[in-house]
Amino acid sequence: MDQGSLRCDANVSLRPIGQAEFGTRTETKNVNSLKSVEVAVRYEMRRQAAVLTDGGTIRQETRHFDEAGFTSPGRDKETAEDYRYFPEPDLEPVAPARKR
């Protein structure tokens, strides 16, 4: 990273034509080039479309990108606990002051 390399996450969700709600999102982690972003997003779009076409549902999850051109399941992110949030024990609560 100190040499100017790229590292990003790509989020993909499909919404069938005529559907008002957004689809379920997947997050592909640690994609490391613009070309890899394109490959990962295209793969994930095709994967999700195939699942939906077959009548399946998309799981909200983290996926991992393989340089061979595919994503694989990482971990589910269905609930807040799945995100593994935890409070910072050394920070005191701060109440913002009202602007006048």
**pLDDT tens-digit series, residues 53-75:** 999 999 999 999 998 999 999 87
Count of the separate structural domains present in the chain: 1
Residue type, 57: T
The contacts of residue 32 (CB under 8 Å, 6+ apart) are 5, 6, 7
In a domain, 81, yes or no: no
Helices (H), the chain: 34-53
**Domain enclosing residue 48, as ranges:** 8-73
- Indicate whether 92 pLDDT > 90: no
**What is the C-alpha separation between 21 and 59, in angstroms, rounded?**
15
The mean predicted confidence, pLDDT, of the chain is 84
In a domain, 100, yes or no: no
Q: How far, in Å, CA of 7 to CA of 29, rounded? A: 9
Q: Which residue has the higher pLDDT, 27 or 99?
A: 27
Percent of the chain with pLDDT over 90: 53
